[in-house]
């Protein structure tokens, strides 16, 4: 029997991957990417392209700015890659880390760009409002497994937010809860407990005020069935139904991103190459720790289109 065809997955980064100047080289050299940025400016009625290209790190890092900026930059990378013929093989799956699910759904044909941009803009505003209403924080725990981190959270009131890679789990919650959890984690053998520079406790119950209004936004977006299965953050299993996808986009606001399990599922299903599409290289680093046998590639600028 001949060997099975190697399988590819396209993965898309979430908040935290933003970097000043992202996408500017694509804007100047790729007509397809330029069209994405120009359209984003028209759809939102403000210069999202200038935010990507010129905003200082502090301004770009604000949740309400970072989310639409990363989405636009990611779709610009995708369209530039398609234009350059850098994505020759149809993916077996798409996946995104948190916010990256919106870019993944656009890549899979389930979410038109204009609707996706309006959704992530609303998501940024709503999650920022929830964070302002109930201040919270997040921290990365290094050196403990998921069960140990879950036990720490159960005893302190913190919550699991991102299961990022073996030995790297992000927790969140109120300021006091996260401080208690970090202290307890260190007592129980964590190598480090690193506070994260983020605007709130995302993927925790503190985001609950954003759920109902976001559900209305998602319903209005008229999401369709994707042409490629999305491996969803909440269950780490493929989703191909528009209704299930809509549920996922609201559910993930208050529940953990199970990135380890997402990558493990794709690798077990025969994915041998993961292509990270969008700014930064965060997911590439995580995937190399989760599935070290897999090949990884990045498409995050002009130079990567011919790499």
Residue that wins the pLDDT comparison between 19 and 119:
119
Residues 273 and 176 both lie in one domain: no
Residue that wins the pLDDT comparison between 197 and 68:
68
Residues 296 and 214 both lie in one domain: yes
pLDDT at 204: 98
Q: Sort 74 into a burial class: Cβ within 10 Å, 0-12 / 13-18 / 19+.
A: buried
Averaged pLDDT, 115-127:
97
Residues 174 and 249 both lie in one domain: no
pLDDT at 306: 83
Q: Sort 190 into a burial class: Cβ within 10 Å, 0-12 / 13-18 / 19+.
A: buried
State how far the alpha carbon of 224 is from the alpha carbons of 19, 113, 118, 237, 262, in Å: 31, 13, 16, 18, 22
Residues 99 and 30 both lie in one domain: yes
Domain assignment present for 1:
no
For residue range 83-110, list pLDDT tens digits in order: 999 998 899 999 999 999 999 999 999 9
In whole angstroms, what is the distance from residue 55 CA to residue 50 CA? Answer: 7
Residues 180 and 216 both lie in one domain: no
Residues 170 and 269 both lie in one domain: no
pTM of the complete model: 0.96
For residue range 219-276, list pLDDT tens digits in order: 999 899 999 999 999 999 999 999 999 999 999 999 999 999 999 999 999 999 999 9
Residues 256 and 294 both lie in one domain: yes
Confidence of residue 57 (pLDDT cuts 50, 70, 90): confident
Active site residue ranges: 98, 203
Averaged pLDDT, 22-30:
96
In whole angstroms, what is the distance from residue 287 CA to residue 235 CA? Answer: 18
Residues 151-156: contacts with CB under 8 Å, at least 24 apart:
152/181, 152/184, 152/185, 152/188, 153/181, 155/184, 156/180, 156/181, 156/184
On whether the CB atoms of residues 173 and 198 are closer than 8 A, the answer is no
Averaged pLDDT, 4-31:
92
**pLDDT averaged over every residue in the chain:** 95
* 278: its two tokens: 């969008």
Q: Quick check: 4 pLDDT over 70?
A: no
CA 101 to chain CA centroid, nearest Å? 6
- Which residues form the domain of 148? 136-195
* 129: its two tokens: 């409002």
CA 263 to chain CA centroid, nearest Å? 13
Residues 122 and 240 both lie in one domain: yes
Q: Quick check: 123 pLDDT over 90?
A: yes
For the chain, the straight-line distance linking the first and the last C-alpha, in angstroms and rounded, comes to: 32
In whole angstroms, what is the distance from residue 211 CA to residue 216 CA? Answer: 9
Q: Quick check: 3 pLDDT over 50?
A: no
Q: Quick check: 1 pLDDT over 60?
A: no
In whole angstroms, what is the distance from residue 205 CA to residue 289 CA? Answer: 29
Residues 246 and 120 both lie in one domain: yes
Give which of 286, 272, 282, 281 is closest to 299, Cα–Cα.
281
Averaged pLDDT, 113-135:
97
Which residue, chain included where needed, has tokens 């530039």?
80
Strands 229-231 and 238-239: antiparallel
pLDDT at 5: 67
Residues 224 and 250 both lie in one domain: yes
For residue range 140-193, list pLDDT tens digits in order: 999 999 999 999 999 999 999 999 999 999 999 999 999 999 999 999 999 999
In whole angstroms, what is the distance from residue 11 CA to residue 91 CA? Answer: 10
Q: Number of folded domains in the chain?
A: 2
pLDDT more than 70, % of the chain? 98
């Amino acid at each position: 029997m001949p060997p099975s065809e190697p399988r590819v997955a396209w993965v898309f980064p979430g908040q935290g991957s933003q970097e000043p100047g992202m996408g500017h080289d694509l804007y100047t050299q790729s007509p397809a990417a330029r069209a994405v940025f120009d359209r984003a400016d028209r759809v939102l009625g403000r210069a999202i392209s200038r935010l990507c290209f010129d905003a200082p790190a502090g301004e770009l890092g604000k949740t309400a700015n970072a989310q639409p900026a990363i989405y636009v930059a990611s779709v610009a990378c995708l369209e530039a890659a398609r234009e350059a013929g850098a994505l020759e093989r149809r993916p077996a799956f798409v996946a995104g880390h948190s916010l990256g699910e919106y870019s993944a759904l656009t890549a899979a044909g389930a979410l038109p760009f204009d609707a996706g941009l309006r959704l992530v803009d609303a998501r940024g505003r709503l999650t920022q409002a929830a964070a302002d209403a109930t201040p919270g924080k997040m921290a990365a725990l290094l050196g403990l497994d998921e069960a140990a981190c879950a036990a720490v959270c159960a005893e302190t009131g913190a919550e699991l937010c991102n299961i990022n890679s073996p030995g790297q789990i992000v927790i969140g919650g109120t300021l006091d809860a996260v401080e208690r959890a970090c202290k307890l984690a260190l007592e129980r053998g964590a190598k480090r407990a690193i506070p994260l520079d983020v605007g709130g406790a995302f993927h925790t119950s503190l985001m609950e005020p954003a759920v109902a209004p976001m559900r209305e936004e998602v319903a209005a977006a008229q999401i369709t069935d994707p042409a490629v299965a999305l491996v969803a953050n909440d269950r780490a299993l493929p989703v191909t139904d528009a209704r299930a996808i809509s549920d996922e986009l609201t559910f993930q606001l208050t529940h953990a991103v199970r990135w380890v399990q997402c990558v493990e599922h794709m690798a077990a299903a025969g994915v041998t190459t993961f292509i990270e599409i969008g700014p930064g290289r965060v997911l590439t680093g995580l995937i190399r720790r989760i599935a070290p046998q897999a090949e990884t590639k990045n498409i995050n600028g002009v130079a990567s289109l011919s790499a």
